[in-house]
Structure 1
Amino acid sequence: MQNATSFTVYRSLFAAVRFFYENGPRMVGLSVVWFLCSLPVVTIGPSTLGAYGAILSLREEQAFDYDRIRTLLGRHGLSSVLLTGLPVLLAATGALYVRRYFATESTVALVLAVVTLYAAAYAALVLIPTFVELANGAPLEQSIRSGIRWTSANAVGAIAMAMATLMLFVLAGALTVAFVLVFAGIAFSLHLDVLAPTVAE
């Protein structure tokens, strides 16, 4: 994975939009499938991992490699559920501490709320490079370590990528149907272009 800056994220956003446009019907189909498969919520992890694998295969082979996607999910499907559950659990814990702070004005509750919410945000940022590594065929432990190292070494780039993803989420969500049709395709193409540009070329 390459280092990232705000500029590379900005450039990758346009590259992701162009890639989506060039592969319109397939990318729209991928976005719709991702949305439907993510509706149970607990399946967001496997759905996202599968989407990364699908886009990687489309970049490399100009077609979706369904065998590759099935193998990827068979190997790391359960792990992706557990990985996506971590930031959710931390965020829920942080929300409870926030509620406790407003009820009691306890300094300890405030400190714990800040710590757990920060940990939740950091865990969410680490998930993106971790999933990209998994989609590229790396083992689970190596992918997690790579995700942590990349996020720590590229804090500005990681935050810029998260903000760009949030912007896409808000814009697509405001258009309602557009969220289903385009969000996953553009957002995950953005992540892959930032983290694996050699694949994107």
Structure 2
Amino acid sequence: MIFILLILVLFLLLPVICFPSCKRDEGYVDALIVLGCPAYDDGTMSVTQKMRVEKAAKAVIQYKIPVCIFTGGKAHNHYSEASIMAEYFTKLTHQKALLEDKSTTTYENMKYTQKLCQEHQFKKIGILTSGYHVNRAYAMSRKFFDDVIMFHAPYRFTIKKMLREYVSRYQYLYIEIRNYLKRKEK
């Protein structure tokens, strides 16, 4: 019985163990990638979007970051996450932004912006997301970028967000294990 209990506890802690905290070393980068999140169903900015964009605007000014890239397609409704956030960013900073508006997941955010960064020869990359999401985003980013700095946007704590992140970590672990096993078969 104790063995089963230990296995269960280990299974429940897996998403925490596999995604250790990353450094909070914000600074100058060639490009700041702001990860998408859904707008409200009426197309207005969600609180999370607003917090991410406001943090991006402050970072761009504070660290003199030349380019901001907003990510996110129409994942949860009919509105492009990247477009909505970039529009607000431009109002705050009077700076244009690049858009990656095809992605529907964090993994796709990384995949598609990697191509954009290669095209523009951006080497040192900053990735901005909400604090609860930063460790998983960092784990994914290391597959696509060599030199990454994480920027942590504030967020409103909700049980729903935490549970969604917890489940998403399991999904990502499953994908990584599956990919590892496929490579081993070859």
Is the TM-score greater than 0.5?
no
Relative to its length, the structure with more helix (as a share) is: 1
Q: Which has the higher strand share?
A: 2
Higher relative contact order (CA 8 A, sep 6+): 1
TM-score, normalised to structure 2, is: 0.28
